[in-house]
Structure 1
Amino acid sequence: MKRPDLIRFSVLSLLGAMAAPSLAQPPAVAPTQPQAPSAPQPQVILPPSIVTPPPPIPLPQPSAAQERWLNDWLKGGTQQGLMARSKVTGDLKGDALLSAALDRARALSTGRVDTADFLEIWALRPAPFDPRPGLAKALSEDRLPQWALNLTPPYSGYDGLRKGLANYERIRDAGGWPMLTAQSAPDVVRARIAIEDRSVTPGEKLIDVLQRAQRRYGLNPTGLLDARTLKELNVPVDDRIAAIMANMERWRWMPRELPVNRVQVNIAAAVLTVFEGDEPVTSMRAVTGAPDNATPMLSSSIHSIVVNPPWNVPASIAKRELWPKGRATLIRQGYKIVGTPETGERIVQPAGPNSALGRLKFDFNNPFAVYLHDTPSRAKFSSYDRLASHGCIRLEKPVPLAELMVASDPALAGQIQSLIDTGKTQRVSLPKQVAVYLLYWTAFASNNGTMSFRSDPYGWDKLLAAKIEASSRRADPTAAPAATIASKD
């Protein structure tokens, strides 16, 4: 399996143009005799509140064998990250069993947490899903295992997390791992890392073991037991489980059929990857939102590139960072103040080599006014800590990315730098819209099954894991009336 910034999880595409509808119309047929106009029929429009919805698809009553299978399946919530610890439950029967099965199917397909309980900035929302038709068919055809297998996300990234979750639960149940200090003996450090990394050998050099661990945590691989490495090694196993659960839930928010061509950004790792034909073709470092200016999770399509863009400074940034400098300083630094005190003033940074947006801005529709853009500040790209923007995504290699996006247009291919060199601000419409996903992956499995983690800069992992637990408690089958629980005799 690949890292999520290289993972083949199929997410939005360089979308092709839709085929134009046919303009041909069938010939009109004239009536053979004149017809008297019919009296207009009154239209009755019922208000939405009294429109009767279609009746739900009836569910066959499960056989005794199907009841046993469904009850065993419902007890496996920990295997799919729907709860951190197994709960002792009684067996359900009848409608209570079917209701619990529908709820579990919905949770596995589109997430345990209801979208009404999402943060606004979690704008990546799952599509609606009705599990009833599938369950009815599986019961009537006696194919419950096959039905359940197709409920979970069909991606290697999700499957890798599921296997990793089982491993970390075993580690937790065995007592977790010891806390390390800067004075911990090399054998103790090696043994601690070996709990998570099965490739560690008893005689392996500690520097090699540490470098491999640092890469798994997204740290500078110095091979030294520094403060950052100690902090990651001392994260409790329960927190690692929470991170895995949160990332499994985010996979459940993803669409099931995704284009094979797309741009995706891992916000937590600050990496952008371009996929063509569902294969990564290029990757670059990025700078994503600082913890107090989080980059939102969302999907959209890049429709155009602005060459030599001016920066219309958002009011919040202007108030917090620019207006305190004073008008004279801003003008001296090249900013323009437009508008009047009566109508409202705003700050604009003209296009140029020093513009905060650099020479290119990649526009896509979203309610957060974020976009991908160039930057004149290049130092951050050499850092391992790259969460420092106001929420937009700064790009290490914007010109090659733009060239990829316009390559299919003969008039634009190879011309991006020439357009920049004119110094003129212009908007270039893309020959095909480019799908873009902004994602928050903090836990993922490598090809050999070893888990990698990134820090949780926004605190979303613990929050989401807590929401998953709370939602699971509300939907726990043990909450069913006692009369619906079968006797264990």
Structure 2
Amino acid sequence: MGNRIKSGLGRRIALLVGAGLIAGPLIAQTAPTPTPSPSGTPGLVQAVPQAIPLPQLDQSQAASLVTMLSEARYAHGLVHNASTASDPENNDALVRAALDYAHAVHAGRLDPEDFQSDWGLRPAAYDPLPAFADAVKRNRLQQWINSLPPPYSGYDGLKDGLDTYRRIEASGGWKALAAGPDLALGASGPRVLALRQRLAVEDQQIIAKGDKFDAELVEGVKRAQRRYGLNPTGTFAAQTRAALNVPAGDRVRQIMANMERWRWLPQELPRNRIQVNIAAAVLTVFEGDSPVASMRVVTGAPGGRETPMLQSRIHSIVLNPPWNVPAGIAAKELFPKGADYLARNGYKVIGTGANRRLQQQAGPQSALGRYKFDFDNPYAVYLHDTPAQAKFASYDRLASHGCVRLEKPAALARLLLRNDPNWQPDQIQATVDGGKTTRVPLRAEDQVQVYLLYWSAYMGSNGMNFRNDPYSWDKTLATRIERRSAVKAGSLSAR
């Protein structure tokens, strides 16, 4: 076969290029080789690039690989719509298509410059060429393809959801529901029929006929509200209508964005860890890779106070922490309220003139409450207690300046310190009651990884769950995935 792939495979490769399946950072194909210096000086050499041969596929392998990549065309959310491209027809073009697809589905579609500063998660460096070459040598290409995606049930659930919502979109999606008065038990008319038809697209328990808002429809509305993170009242009101009116294509892109974020995670998460879902404002504690505790949290408000995505390790707990107020918050929100307000709320002005800063003293008024959980990160964010408890009862809990406020900080502190004989519950409580600021370092074996993640779409026991995209990160990320796919497709097709 030589370096030419025959029998129409080139056209199928072109479709893969056009679909963006061969997009992502290209694998370097050169290496330095010693070459005599132009000066002729004995013993001196200079590095000159020399091509590293790509694996040579036999015709059966080439045909199989094209089929595998074709079947994966949209399965991993690397593009939304297909496009056209030029028609590479040689062995190296197909190999590069496979390598580029592998990089995209294993380590993410984005290039480093595509990341926002507050997207602090970064995928590990990954070179697919060695494993691919071994798969070619041992004729195990299918096993290689299967090994590429993130090995998590959360990712698999999104992949299934992507397929479902692609089919919904392809069949026409759903009609937008008209505005009007709230609908509840006992209502009737055309708007109730339209609501039934809309819910039935995602909920097989709903009968898409009839114009009566009966008990069955109440339960259907509640199921939808739970899937969309809304208060399950069973009444069809403005928030529920807004969630149901998001187009199916936007839901596809939302799933695409969340699949990409899974690809930024390490291939094996620590079995003991803390995860915060920023979008859903929920913290979950995992032990032995199983959830053992969860609580509501308050995360950053949109518009410049977003909680960043990051990975770190909780290394200490501060009991009775003071709050060193960030300069921007002090200048914009606190100093304008005047000296009397600052004094009443336990703030102390430190320094003078342009260098002055604010510190709120430890105690019941402290914005950090009685507990602060520290982990290294460049954003100066942390987990902490709060005296403002009312927000935890809300379904909309994005209201902080970027840190994560905890509903049950004392329980988390006891959990993290339970194996430290010096910090059993009575000692923790006595220290808190004493009011003195005390930093409690976690023993090395008790330090725990913490992940702040932005999961706005995930598969649950009730089907696909969606949350509002409060930071507009889904739209931004999906756009960058498609743009990067198009750029890389054009780069490869030009070779």
Fold conserved (TM > 0.5)?
yes
The match for 1:70 is 65
Closer, same or farther: CA 354–56 of 1 in aligned 2, 3 Å: farther
Match in the other structure for 1:466: 479
Give me the whole-angstrom Cα distance separating, in 1, the residues matched to 2:234 and 2:245: 17
1:115 Cα shift?
Answer: 2.1
What CA distance in whole angstroms lies between the structure 1 residues aligned with 2:422 and 2:481?
Answer: 51
Aligned to 1:313: 325
How far is the alpha carbon of 1:201 from its aligned partner? 4.5
Contact 1:113/1:468 (8 A) holds in 2 = yes
Q: Spell out the pairing of 1:19-98 with structure 2 (5 A cutoff).
A: 58-75=53-70, 76-87=72-83, 90=87, 92-98=89-95
User: Which of 369, 374, 377 is the equivalent residue of 2:380?
Assistant: 369
Aligned residue for 1:388, secondary structure, equals strand
Kept in 2, the 8 Å contact 1:67–1:93? The answer is: no
Distance 1:405 1:380, change over 3 A: same
How has the CA–CA distance of structure 1 residues 56 and 403 changed in structure 2, closer, same or farther, with 3 Å as cutoff? farther
| Cα pair distance change 1:52/1:117, threshold 3 Å | farther
Q: How many residues align?
A: 431
**Separation in structure 2 between the aligned mates of residue 288 and residue 338 of structure 1, nearest angstrom:** 28
Deviations 1:121-162 (A, max 9, x none): 000110000100011001111111100110000111111111
- How far, CA to CA, are the matches of 2:47 and 2:476 in structure 1? 38
Structure 1 residues 473-484: aligned runs within 5 Å: 473-476=486-489, 480-481=493-494
Match in the other structure for 1:444: 458
Residue range with higher mean Cα deviation, 62-71 or 148-157: 62-71
What is the alpha-carbon distance in structure 2 between the residues aligned to residue 53 and residue 455 of structure 1?
Answer: 53
Code of the aligned partner of 1:323: F
Which whole-Å CA distance do the structure 2 matches of 1:151 and 1:382 have between them? 41
- Match of 2:450, SS? strand
Find 2:201's aligned residue among 195, 207, 215.
Answer: 195
Which stretches in structure 2 are left out of the alignment for 5+ residues?
1-44, 181-189, 210-214
**How far apart, in 1, do the equivalents of 2:420 and 2:344 lie?**
41
Contact 1:58–1:136 (Cα < 8 Å) also in 2:
no
Contact 1:57–1:132 at 8 Å: present in 2 too?
Answer: no
1:214-363 aligned within 5 A: 214-292=225-303, 293-341=305-353, 344-363=355-374
Once residues 381 and 273 of structure 1 are traced to their aligned partners in structure 2, the CA distance between those partners, rounded to angstroms, is: 15
After alignment, is 393-402 or 186-195 more displaced? 186-195
Partner amino acid, structure 1, of 2:482: E
Change (3 A) 1:248 1:87: same
Query: In structure 2, what is the equivalent of residue 39 of structure 1?
Result: none
CA shift digits 1:269-321 (9 cap, x unpaired)? 00000011111111100000000200000000000000000000000100110
The one-letter amino acid of 2:393's match is S
Per the normalisation by structure 2, the TM-score is 0.83
Corresponding position of 1:148: 145
Matched residue, 1:19: none
Structure 1 residues 426 and 51: alpha-carbon distance in aligned structure 2, compared to 1, 3 A threshold: farther
Q: 1:102 to 1:401 in 2, by over 3 A?
A: same
CA distance in 2, matches of 1:51, 1:208: 74
Query: How has the CA–CA distance of structure 1 residues 362 and 71 changed in structure 2, closer, same or farther, with 3 Å as cutoff?
Result: same
Tell me, yes or no, if the aligned pair for 1:302 and 1:433 is still in contact at 8 Å.
yes
How far apart, CA to CA, are the structure 2 residues paired with 1:260 and 1:214?
32
What is the distance in 1 between the residues matched to 2:478 and 2:149? 18
CA distance in 1, matches of 2:471, 2:96: 35
Structure 1 length-normalised TM: 0.84
CA RMSD of aligned residues (A): 2.0
Alpha-carbon spacing, 1:55–1:447, altered in 2? closer, same or farther (3 Å): farther
Structure 1 SS opposite 2:362 = coil
C-alpha deviation, 1:53, in angstroms: 10
Match of 2:428 in 1: 416
Per the alignment, do residues 141 and 120 of structure 1 end up closer, same or farther by CA in structure 2, a change over 3 Å counting?
A: same
Supply the distance in 2 between the matched residues of 1:354 and 1:51 (Cα, whole angstroms): 68
Deviations 1:195-241 (A, max 9, x none): 11223346871100000000000000000110000000000111101
Which residue is equivalent to 1:10? none
Q: C-alpha displacement at 1:468, in angstroms?
A: 0.4
Q: Which amino acid aligns with 2:58?
A: S
Asked whether the equivalents of residues 57 and 133 of structure 1 are also in contact (C-alpha less than 8 Å), the reply is: no
d(CA) in 2 for partners of 1:211, 1:52: 67
Give the whole-Å Cα distance in 1 for the aligned partners of 2:293 and 2:285.
5
CA distance in structure 1 between the aligned counterparts of 2:50 and 2:224, rounded to whole angstroms: 55
Which structure ranks higher in relative contact order (CA pairs < 8 Å, sequence separation ≥ 6)?
A: 1
| Contact 2:346–2:366 (Cα < 8 Å) also in 1 | no
CA shift for structure 1 position 56: 7.9
Structure 1, residues 69-117: CA drift from partner, whole Å, max 9, x if none?
2223333331110000234565642111111211111001110011221
Shift of 1:166: 0.8
- 1:107-122 aligned within 5 A: 107-122=104-119
The runs of 4+ residues in structure 1 deviating greater than 4 Å are 50-58, 88-91, 201-204
Partner SS state of residue 391, structure 1: coil
Asked whether the equivalents of residues 260 and 278 of structure 1 are also in contact (C-alpha less than 8 Å), the reply is yes
Structure 1, gaps ≥5 residues long: 1-49, 485-489
